[in-house]
Amino acid sequence: MRAIVCEKLGLPSDLVMRELPDSLEPGPGEIKVALSARGAQFVDVLMAAGEYQTKPALPFIPGGEAAGEIVAVGSEVDRFKVGDKVMTRHSTGAFAEQATIPADHALPVPANMELIQAAGFRSAYSTAYHSLVQRGRLQSGETLLVHGAAGGIGLAAVQIGKILGATVIATASSDNKLAVVEANGADHIINYTDGFRDKVKELTDGRGADVIYDPVGAGVFDESMRCLNWGARILILGFVGGGPSLAKTNHLLIKGASAVGVRMGGFNEFEPETAAANLKVLMEWAKAGKLKPHVSHTYPLDQVAKALQVIIDRKVIGKCVLTN
C-alpha cells in the first residue's frame, strides 16, 4: 500500500510517500479498511512538526480520521461486514491506503453522506458537540459567538448551535467565507478583520454572548473577553491565530464568567461513555440530514503538503480531504 510517512519532524513538505506492506489482517475485534478519503486537520500539521501534545515515535503515518470500505473482518466483530462503508478514527495512520483498526473506532457512513464528507465528519462534529453541550452548557435561547466559523470545527459549531436553539453570531476573516457560514445557518455574520466587539454588543443589546467558541486565540480571545454576558462561558479550543492568551481574571470576576478548556483527546480517554453517547446523537442528526459537512478542498494523497499548506494559510472552508 501507499502511505504518507513522517520520517523527520518539520514542515508539510518534509512528509514523503512510501510503498509499505499491506495493513495487517484483522485480529479479534478488528476490521481492515480500504481508505478512500482522509480528513486533514491543523492537528496533523502540529504533529508532523513535533508541536502537538501527542508525539508519536518516528517514523509514523500521520492522520487521525478517514473513510472507506471494509475489506476484512476479524473474529468477535458483529457490527460490520465486508463491503460496509465506515468512517474511522486513528491515533495515527489515516494517511494511507489501508488501515487495520479496532471495530469500535469505526462508525457506519449514513446513506445520505459521501465518503469525502464522512472522512471529515467525526472529529469536527464531536469537538463542536462536546464543546457546546458538556463544556459550554449552551441552552436554547442563549447567544453563541463562534470564531473561526468557516473552519471545520467552526461550521460544525454553527450547525449544532442552531439545532440546540441558540442565536448564532459567527465571525470569519473574509466575505466569501462568511457567505458559506451564513448558508450553514448563522443568524449574524461578522468580518472580524476590523474587530467584532462593538457589533456583538450591538446585536445583543449591550449584553454580550453567553457562550464564546474560540479556536483562534491570540487577539481574538483578548477581544472576546470584552464580549462576555453575565455568566458567560468562553471555550478555548486552540490557537490557530498565533498562540495562547492570558485571560484577564478581573473580567471573568466582574462578569461571573468562566474560561473553559476543551481537549477531545482527554475527553475520549477519561469520559468514553459520554463520548460514545455524543456520537450516537450526532449520527442520528446526520442520518436525518441536520448535519451537512462542507468540503472546500480535495487533494490526492501524494499532494499532502499542498493540503496541509492551505490549512496553514487558512484558505479552507469546512474541511480539506485527501483522496486516492
Number of domains in the chain: 2
318 bridge partner residues: 151, 295
Residues 219 and 189 in one domain: yes
Q: What is the pLDDT of residues 183-211, one digit of tens each?
A: 999 999 999 988 999 999 999 999 999 99
pLDDT number for residue 169: 98
For residue 110, give the DSSP letter: P
Classify strands 16-19 and 30-40 as parallel, antiparallel or unpaired: unpaired
Q: What is the pLDDT of residues 251-307, one digit of tens each?
A: 999 999 999 999 998 999 999 999 999 999 999 999 999 999 999 999 999 999 999
Check pLDDT > 90 for residue 53. no
CATH number at residue 163: 3.40.50.720
Q: Which of 258, 266, 250, 245 is nearest to 211 (CA)?
A: 258
The verdict on residue 287 lying in a domain is no
CATH number at residue 300: 3.90.180.10
The verdict on residue 74 lying in a domain is yes
Q: Which of 234, 52, 34, 279 is nearest to 137 (CA)?
A: 234
Residues 149 and 250 in one domain: yes
The verdict on residue 192 lying in a domain is yes
Residues 162 and 233 in one domain: yes
Residue 308, SS3? helix
- The pTM of this model reads 0.95
Q: What is the pLDDT of residues 127-151, one digit of tens each?
A: 999 999 999 999 999 999 999 999 9
Residues 137 and 34 in one domain: no
Classify strands 295-300 and 319-323 as parallel, antiparallel or unpaired: parallel
Q: What angle do CA 307, 313, 318 make, to 5 degrees?
A: 65
Residues 84 and 20 in one domain: yes
pLDDT number for residue 240: 87
Measured distance CA(320)–CA(324) in Å, rounded: 14
Measured distance CA(190)–CA(177) in Å, rounded: 10
Residues 302 and 218 in one domain: no
Residues 91 and 132 in one domain: no
Residues 116 and 132 in one domain: no
Residues 144 and 231 in one domain: yes
The verdict on residue 234 lying in a domain is yes
Q: In whole numbers, what is the pLDDT of the chain averaged over residues? A: 96
Residues 99 and 139 in one domain: no
pLDDT bin (cut points 50, 70, 90) of residue 243 is confident
Measured distance CA(45)–CA(162) in Å, rounded: 30
Q: What is the pLDDT of residues 72-117, one digit of tens each?
A: 999 999 999 999 999 999 999 999 999 999 999 999 999 999 999 9
Helices 304-312 and 42-49, axial angle in degrees (round to 10): 110
Measured distance CA(173)–CA(149) in Å, rounded: 9
The verdict on residue 288 lying in a domain is no
The verdict on residue 281 lying in a domain is no
Measured distance CA(200)–CA(285) in Å, rounded: 29
8 bridge partner residues: none
Residues 154 and 248 in one domain: yes
The verdict on residue 284 lying in a domain is no
The verdict on residue 289 lying in a domain is no
250: Cβ contacts below 8 Å, ≥ 6 apart: none
Q: Find the domain containing 231 and state its range.
A: 128-265
Residues 160 and 179 in one domain: yes
Q: Tell me the DSSP string of 16-79.
A: EEEE-PPPPPP-TTEEEEEEEEEEE-HHHHHHHHT-SS--PPSSB---SEEEEEEEEE-TT--S
Helices 175-183 and 152-163, axial angle in degrees (round to 10): 30
